Amino acid sequence: MLNTPAGRKKAPEPWPIAAVADAVVTTDDSWVITSWNRPMEELFGWAEGTVVGRDMYTVLGLDNGSGLRRDLPRALLNHGRWEGDVEGLHRDGDARPVRLSVCFLRGTEDAPAGILAVARPHPEEIDELEVGIRVDDDETHSEPGLPGLFVLHYQPEVNLEHLAVVSCEALLRWHHPGLGLLSPGGFLGEPDLAARLEALGAWTFFAACRQAAIWTADHDMRVTVNVSGQQLADRELATRVRLAMTAAGVDTGHFGVEVSADRLGIEPATTRVAMSALEEVGAVVLLDDVRSEPARDSWVGLPLAGVKLGRSLIDGVASTPERRVEVESTIAIAHDLGLWVTAEGIENPADLDCVRELGCDGAFGFLLHTPSPAREIEHQLDEPLAVRWDRVDAL
């Protein structure tokens, strides 16, 4: 048992790990398994009903003389998390090399309430023939029965005052072996994917949080993801986000969730409840794709950190006087509430100059940077934007 200051606590039941695409197991503070999701079953061969109540080290075959049972609890108590490469055992006795990430689960008062472990196969262990394609992305996810791989690409947002990257929006992409790289608009309507959206969303949270932890260790920025109306209706949404943030070790303020502005009109009560719950677990909440000037009091009381003015509102703002007035008024309403304002979909220098003049705080769009794998973004986080500004001036 871990001798935590809060004493022994069991993880709340059930933790919502069933839809998480990563292989996840939770335990109490004596390493007794309390939940075990389907990817863990596929990775190690044990069904959840056969492992709940058993010792995690024994089930995973980690009592192999490596000293992990001694070293892992020590690292948790000293640093709050542990990550390393281990060789587990499948139920049939075959070795399963995985990268194991372990951290405390947090209770309602932020005290340890159990332990979370995420097991991820090494990239070389992924069967190239099974997924149908190999891509050189930072992190990939395969869905059983579907060809290709899912990845995240990131589109940077810049601060228009200091011209530095302040945020990256994580965007889901599907590397399809026959159709190439698809954005959500090209595949989310597919019937084969309808039942998998929950799992894809959960994987997106985990992967984006892992990237946020890497980048924010050295940079003052955040990573954000979009959530759908279906996700907002999920009562476990905030807990899923907290689970992903906890597993990755992301600090409050460095991971954000974007909610489409139209959800406030379609499902206002559900959307407000979900936004409040997300803020309570430490996620930054942003209102995405604002397409028109809001009523002056419509955002009052919402747990927002910022708003993002959609492309339909921003496109052509420099050449359309009526749109310029609408954008300027929307910015003023947001600033009166202390909100950060981002201009989305910037595709020409005139519109960029205009939104800067009108007082937008940040901007992103193809003119500044296209959505790209994390490795292509990383080296630009410290780069003076003047390099990219030269490219803008040339357009």
pLDDT of residue 305: 97
CATH homologous superfamily, domain 132-394: EAL domain (3.20.20.450)
Per residue in 205-234, pLDDT tens?
999 999 999 999 999 999 999 998 989 998
Per residue in 31-72, pLDDT tens?
999 999 888 898 899 999 999 999 999 999 887 777 888 888
Answer yes or no: is pLDDT of 129 > 50. Answer: no
Per residue in 145-195, pLDDT tens?
777 788 999 999 999 988 889 999 999 988 877 667 787 766 666 666 666
Burial class (CB in 10 A: 0-12, 13-18, 19+), 7: exposed
Answer yes or no: is pLDDT of 390 > 90. Answer: no
Show me where the domains of the chain are located. Answer: 23-125, 132-394
The whole model's pTM is what?
A: 0.76
AA letter at 170: A
Question: pLDDT-derived band of residue 18, with 50, 70 and 90 as boundaries?
Answer: low
Of the candidates 356, 116, 357, the residue with the CA atom closest to the CA atom of residue 368: 356
Per residue in 290-306, pLDDT tens?
999 998 899 999 999 99
pLDDT of residue 66: 74
CATH code of domain 23-125: 3.30.450.20
Answer yes or no: is pLDDT of 288 > 70. Answer: yes
Q: Cα–Cα distances in Å, from 297 out to 53, 279, 288, 330?
A: 52, 20, 18, 12
